């Protein structure tokens, strides 16, 4: 799916993403992942702002990026309601240029499934974070259960056409192959969902 078509698709889905954000979709995992986030924070693929309720507004200065203007509009309004100071940038993460070594923390949730080259996106995160800065990832990938994983492989072509999402990526292996140092990881839902705490090098 080309990038323009993908942006149009996310624009159309913005209302649904906003409902999920306000209803604290998978909030238990988001809260577990983000409870220690502080300082200058970069969130990539912010969507409609599902992570915003889990940031401590007195501890975070947020820069949030997404390529969908509709998503950003909803995230911006949600941030105002929550009292979170944030700068919002409309840009494609895969071509985004930011000052290197600028952020204490980089956050990505449910976005690595969509990039053409997720490893390059992780390299970018590593460059944008300060040395020793923390990287927080909540992602989905291939199940640890063989039968579920087989079903994901079968469904992957349709998922890519419909949503631009890859269902069968080995997320933990991709992160370990990146410059990031994995500090801790947890898996849920038959190993499909990953919570990963990493460090920039």
Q: Is 45 left (phi over 0), alpha (psi -120 to 50) or beta?
A: left
Contact 186, 163 (CB under 8 A): no
CATH number of the domain that residue 90 is part of:
3.40.50.150
State the pLDDT at residue 11. Answer: 66
Task: Domain count for the chain, please give it.
Answer: 1
Question: Whole domain around residue 160: which residue ranges?
Answer: 3-200
Express each pLDDT in 143-173 by its tens digit: 999 999 999 999 999 988 887 789 999 999 9
Question: d(Cα 168, Cα 152) in Å, to the nearest integer?
Answer: 6
What crossing angle do the helices spanning 69-82 and 3-22 adopt, rounded to 10°? 20
Express each pLDDT in 66-90 by its tens digit: 999 999 999 999 999 999 999 999 9
Strands 193-199 and 181-188: antiparallel
């Amino acid at each position: 799916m080309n990038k323009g078509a993908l942006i149009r698709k996310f624009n159309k889905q913005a209302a649904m993403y906003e409902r999920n954000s306000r209803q604290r979709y998978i909030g238990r995992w988001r809260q577990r992942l983000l409870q220690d986030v502080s300082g200058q924070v970069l969130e990539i693929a912010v969507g409609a702002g599902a992570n915003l309720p889990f940031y401590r507004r007195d501890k975070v200065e947020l820069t949030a990026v997404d390529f969908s203007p509709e998503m950003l509009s909803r995230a911006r309004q949600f941030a105002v309601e929550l009292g979170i100071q944030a700068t919002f940038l409309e840009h494609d993460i895969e071509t985004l240029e930011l000052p290197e070594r600028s952020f204490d923390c980089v956050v990505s949730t449910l976005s690595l499934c969509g990039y053409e080259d997720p490893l390059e996106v992780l390299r970018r995160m590593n460059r944008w974070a300060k040395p020793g800065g923390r990287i927080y990832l909540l992602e989905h990938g291939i199940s640890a259960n063989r039968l579920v994983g087989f079903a994901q492989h079968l469904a992957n072509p349709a998922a890519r056409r419909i949503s631009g999402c890859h269902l069968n990526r080995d997320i933990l292996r991709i992160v370990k192959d990146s410059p990031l140092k994995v500090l801790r990881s947890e898996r849920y839902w038959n190993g499909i969902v990953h919570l990963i705490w990493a460090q920039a090098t």
